Homo-oligomer: A and B are copies of this chain.
């Protein structure tokens, strides 16, 4: 993509931002705020969001999740069936034609349970796991923290259905392992990814959060550094030691929650009278689990954790483009060589954002640091004297001079 053609440009400064992720993502041209907690994803931001979603999709497919797409709108009846029409604060309620009551789904237990019930009747149909990646709506009293907590946001929600608790426990572990793989692929440091015991709400004793430990986190954790497991402050009264090894020396840390998994038991299946017939033909309760990760929240978290004072530093796996290519100066030789390189990158299947603007060097460098693509290549009359380009890893302190001959191979190695 030629930067000169990209309609969404970087912005020098933004007023009225509530977080680092909102600041850098807005300035870099990744997102645009429509109202508090509601954002448009611009071309660069949509590329990042889609890459995050695709990593999650691949890992959930690999644990036999079947992807569907449920609607945002639901009739009141679904939410009334579980009582949450009246009790869920964040539920958007609206009126449609004929004075009908609708909800905008903030989660999908009330939709997926009767959906799966429509097709699952016997023990032969279980277990089954259904997920979607879809926009959810929450009527938050105060939306804050940029895309970390919005009124409309992307969510992967997986729901599993089982014949007994033992089978739910088995699959719950399978998904837990898939989540660790997802966070690793997304670029989070496995050393900082803590499985965190949290409140199970009305469903079970505990749920589990995945927390990335960081001084900028807003959640308070008590961590067992041996097991890499933590206890969320909200349940510290009930659980004062490491739930896995009994270690009583828990260390206080801060974290950002990047996922949440629940054993729901029969709360929702009971509400919809969803039963299955066992081998003897006897009707039995269906046991349910649910597993969430928010791609937009992940995107915001990556910015919170991995930025420096100049801007974003995207992990290689979710960068909008692989190369930020730019020319310095406006001489014909540099321009021509940069065009040749841009074409060579395309032929090699390496994606590039090509800053081809007639703009001063300082502005181009500042934009590239703000946008945060992992690898920047600069073509100028000075580098061309050595048949080279300037190679700058976004996370390295210094740039190096690299011969154009063999460059493609070196880029492929960088990304392999």
Q: Is A92 an interface residue (CB 8 A)?
A: yes
A41 touching B68 in the complex, CB below 8 Å, given contacts A130-B7, A152-B73: yes
- Interface contact B94-A92, CB-CB below 8 Å: yes
Q: Is A139 an interface residue (CB 8 A)?
A: yes
> Per-residue CB proximity of A232-267 to B under 8 Å, as 1/0?
000000000000000000000000000000000000
Contact of A68 among B9, B46, B74, B111 (CB under 8 A): B46
Q: Is A34 an interface residue (CB 8 A)?
A: yes
Contact of A72 among B42, B70, B97, B152 (CB under 8 A): B152
- Interface contact B111-A75, CB-CB below 8 Å: no
Contact of A7 among B35, B40, B120, B140 (CB under 8 A): B120
Closest-by-CB residue of B relative to A6 is B66
Query: Which residues of B are found within 8 Å of A142, using beta-carbon distances?
Result: 97
Shortest C-beta distance, A206 to chain B (Å), equals 28
- Interface contact B96-A151, CB-CB below 8 Å: yes
Copies of this chain in its oligomeric complex:
2
What is the size, in residues, of chain A's interface with B at 8 Å between Cβ atoms? 54
How far, in angstroms, from A312 to B181 measured CA to CA in the complex?
39
A116 touching B75 in the complex, CB below 8 Å, given contacts A42-B68, A43-B66: no
Query: Which residues of B are found within 8 Å of A64, using beta-carbon distances?
Result: 5
Residue among A9, A32, A46, A128 having the largest count of chain B Cβ atoms under 10 Å: A32
- Interface contact B68-A43, CB-CB below 8 Å: yes
Query: Which residues of B are found within 8 Å of A115, using beta-carbon distances?
Result: 32, 34, 40
Residue among A7, A43, A74, A104 having the largest count of chain B Cβ atoms under 10 Å: A7
Q: Is A395 an interface residue (CB 8 A)?
A: no
Shortest C-beta distance, A18 to chain B (Å), equals 16
Q: Is A271 an interface residue (CB 8 A)?
A: no
Q: Is A308 an interface residue (CB 8 A)?
A: no
- Interface contact B68-A135, CB-CB below 8 Å: no
- Interface contact B7-A125, CB-CB below 8 Å: yes
Closest-by-CB residue of B relative to A126 is B7
Q: Is A93 an interface residue (CB 8 A)?
A: yes
Query: Which residues of B are found within 8 Å of A40, using beta-carbon distances?
Result: 68-71, 111, 115
How far, in angstroms, from A29 to B118 measured CA to CA in the complex?
11
Q: Is A107 an interface residue (CB 8 A)?
A: no
Q: Is A39 an interface residue (CB 8 A)?
A: yes
- Interface contact B66-A97, CB-CB below 8 Å: no
- B-facing residues in A78-106 (Cβ within 8 Å): 78, 92-98, 104
Residue among A40, A139, A151 having the largest count of chain B Cβ atoms under 10 Å: A40
Query: Which residues of B are found within 8 Å of A5, using beta-carbon distances?
Result: 64
Residue among A35, A46, A73, A94 having the largest count of chain B Cβ atoms under 10 Å: A73
17 A-B pairs within 8 Å (CB atoms) are namely A7-B130, A8-B66, A8-B68, A32-B118, A34-B71, A34-B78, A34-B115, A35-B75, A71-B135, A72-B72, A73-B151, A73-B152, A92-B94, A94-B104, A96-B139, A97-B140, A104-B104
Closest 6 A-B residue pairs measured CB to CB? A94-B94, A41-B69, A7-B128, A35-B75, A97-B141, A40-B70
Known interface pairs A7-B130, A104-B104; 15 further A-B residue pairs with C-beta atoms within 8 A, sorted by A's residue number: A7-B66, A7-B119, A8-B66, A8-B68, A34-B71, A34-B74, A34-B111, A35-B74, A35-B75, A39-B71, A41-B69, A43-B66, A43-B67, A49-B69, A97-B141
